[in-house]
Structure 1
């Protein structure tokens, strides 16, 4: 580990969204002991303003930048970041996406939980799902215990990807983000964590996740659901939950995304009321 390096590093992939990056970096609480690695995935239209990014970050840590020569997709950007992080000996790896924001003490809460539960290798948390004006639409809260998480994984990922914190030592077993699950690389990696280690979720909201109902292209959504189906089929067993998950994903392939978005928001608001 480098001198003056924190235990924790947060990995943020960036592609043509410097304003979102500044917003994300500004959300780290001033008392948070965390470094940040920003991996730029070949941005050409809107590159990073490194000075503005560093000025926005006021936590007890350092922001570093890794610039990839060309755009290859988020899986490659994340894996490039993981390789950089592993080579520098960080103990804990967090995630955040450009435009999403942390609650001020997110990492302090998650590190405290992992220190108290050394058997847990991957920890997620709840997310406040906000619209583009910043108003909360609903809270996405997944099961907290390992057994319930394993069951929920039959339907979809039981973790909010930009809300996770995991132990870098686990990567020796899990490997990096798979490249054969386009648009569902997180679901694929988390399945490996669930199969090999104990995992958990905090019930606390740790991030604010910006919803953009027009932001997912039809082609990406189709790839994501097809990847999810392939993963569900690969991990299926004889349980009802496994087959319901497969049926659910197959149905999503034919339903309009706007309809699904509205139904999910309505159901979540009712659940959290």
Structure 2
């Protein structure tokens, strides 16, 4: 490990979204001790603006870029980033997506928790779900303790992908993001963490997650739900939660995404009222 680098590196995949990347990088608090690796997945229409990105990033760390020669999809971009990170000996790996933003002390909170709980290998948190104007629609929280997370995983992922931090040493057991779960690579990887290690979520809001009800294509959404169903079947048990989770996913295949988005937003706002 380079003695000048931080313990933590944040992995951000990028594809034709330089403005979102700048917005994300600007959200890193000035006192945060974190390096950042941006993996550009073969952008051609709107490549990374490295100058603007460096001007936006003011945390106590290094900002580096890995440019892939062609677009192969987020799973390959993330795995290229993990290989780069492992080769350099980082202890902790965090995630963020272009357009999403951190609360100012997000990384310090997660590191502090992991230092006190050395057996926890994967740590997530809550997210403020905002529309494209930045207005909060609802707060998404998941169970915080391992047993409750395991139960919730039978329904859907119990982690918000861009809010997680995990120990790089765990990858020797879990492997990288699977390539056989299209659009659900995070759910698949998190199942490996849940099965092999102790995991947790903070109740705190760690990120602002930008919702875009028109941003996911029908074909990608269908691939995602089919991958989720396959993972739910693979990890099913005799519990009602497992079978209800699969039934819910099957129903989601038949419903328009805009309707699902609207219903979820209304239900979650109601719970928070």
TM range (shorter): over 0.9
TM-score by length of 2: 1.00
* Cα drift, residue 57 of structure 1: 0.3
Cα distance in 1 for residues equivalent to 2:100 and 2:152: 24
Supply the distance in 2 between the matched residues of 1:211 and 1:97 (Cα, whole angstroms).
Answer: 12
Distance in 1, matches of 2:169 and 2:260, equals: 37
Gaps of 5+ in 1: none
Q: State the SS of the aligned residue for 1:216.
A: coil
Q: Which 4+ stretches in 1 moved above 3 angstroms?
A: none
CA distance in 1: counterparts of 2:61 and 2:271, whole angstroms: 38
CA RMSD of aligned residues (A): 0.4
**What corresponds to 1:212 in structure 2?**
212
Equivalent-residue separation in structure 1 for 2:147 and 2:90 (angstroms): 28
How many angstroms does 1:116 deviate by?
Answer: 0.5
Partner of residue 157, structure 2: 157
> Helix, strand or coil: the match of 1:253?
helix
What does residue 141 of structure 1 align with? 141
Q: What SS does the corresponding residue of 1:115 show, helix, strand or coil?
A: helix
CA distance in 2, matches of 1:89, 1:67: 20
Aligned length: 273
CA separation in 2, counterparts of 1:168 and 1:30? 24
Equivalent-residue separation in structure 2 for 1:25 and 1:190 (angstroms): 25
State the partner residue of 1:67.
Answer: 67
Q: CA deviation at 1:165?
A: 0.2
Per the normalisation by structure 1, the TM-score is 1.00
Q: 1:192 is matched with which residue?
A: 192
* Residue 3 (structure 1) shift: 2.5
Q: Deviations over 1:180-208 (max 9, x none)?
A: 00000000000000000000000000000
Q: Which residue of 1 aligns with 2:177?
A: 177
Q: For residues 207 and 256 of structure 1, what CA distance do their matches in structure 2 show? A: 27
